[in-house]
Chains A and B, each alone.
Chain A
Amino acid sequence: MQIRIDNASGRPVYQQIIDQIKRDIALGRLIKDEKLPTVRQLAAQLAINPNTIAKAYRQLEGEGIIVTRPGSGAFIANLDSNLSRAVRKRLLSDELERIAVEAFHMQIDRQTLLEWFNNAVEKFNVPSKKGQSDG
């Protein structure tokens, strides 16, 4: 697992780790039940404070993206997630609204925005309907 920390970014380090793990999962680089490095291993590998890594893992666990099994470590969860639809809607809606605001400020019209959105969806293999996978 390759994680890069960007110091110029405004995002906190733990958030960057979370983002990159989620991205890897979406890109298929991390699959269900795959074992993640331990907090200690990742801390030593990246030269980052173990507390930061621990926080990232905790949040990922809270979002249901990873599960920790005592004695074994952290694993990518079964992605037919147990998070309720309402929670998922809330998490994604915030992001979508943020994008809408940015688009407004950048004066991007709806058509173009939807086109770009579809490209992103293609890239990450988001299935059209639950249970299917494109291409």
Chain B
Amino acid sequence: MLTLIRREIRDHIVYFIAAVVFSAILIALLTAAAYHFESSESAVFVGLSIPMLVILVLGFSAMGVTQMYLDRNRRISAFLSALPVTRSRILTARIVAGLLAILIVLVPLAIAAIILGRLIAPPIPIFAGYIADILTTIFLMVLACYCLGLLTGWTANKIAPTFGALGLNLVLVSLVFVKGFGPDIKFLLVLVIVACLIRTWHKFMSTSL
């Protein structure tokens, strides 16, 4: 299993490097926003966060698409299935790699947010809860877009996954902005994630390689 995960990471190292870089950028932005909390400049930083989020979401969706598309294109699973591994392990390793990349971005961000919260803001419990809420929703949203990428990527077509994923992602992102960060949006996102994973699993397992 570890070998498979390592293989995924090495094949898609670009995304992991980008994740680290992005994480740093986001932390920088967050820190800057926190320290300018009182001034009017904070609005700029908050404003910047929206396109950042969009980039994040699209980036992970692209990662999902790339992982599956390259597999199909380069016949990676076809080669691996001749070896003593099961298809389920291949897919699991793939998803784990994706999760790892997501966590690389979000975990440091979360830690930074907590630290900054402790340092700067008044110790109001609601505030902490609010941050947790935002972060969880962001995590679920990114994960959902990643799963959408996985689902649309498992096809031989070059155009379909790109536009398919793009469209679906935009729908999701706009939904989040319309409905805010509440529990119902979280529920919806979990539903999307589960549905995507089940469908991807089924497609991956049953395709003739």
- In-complex A–B contact (CB below 8 Å): no
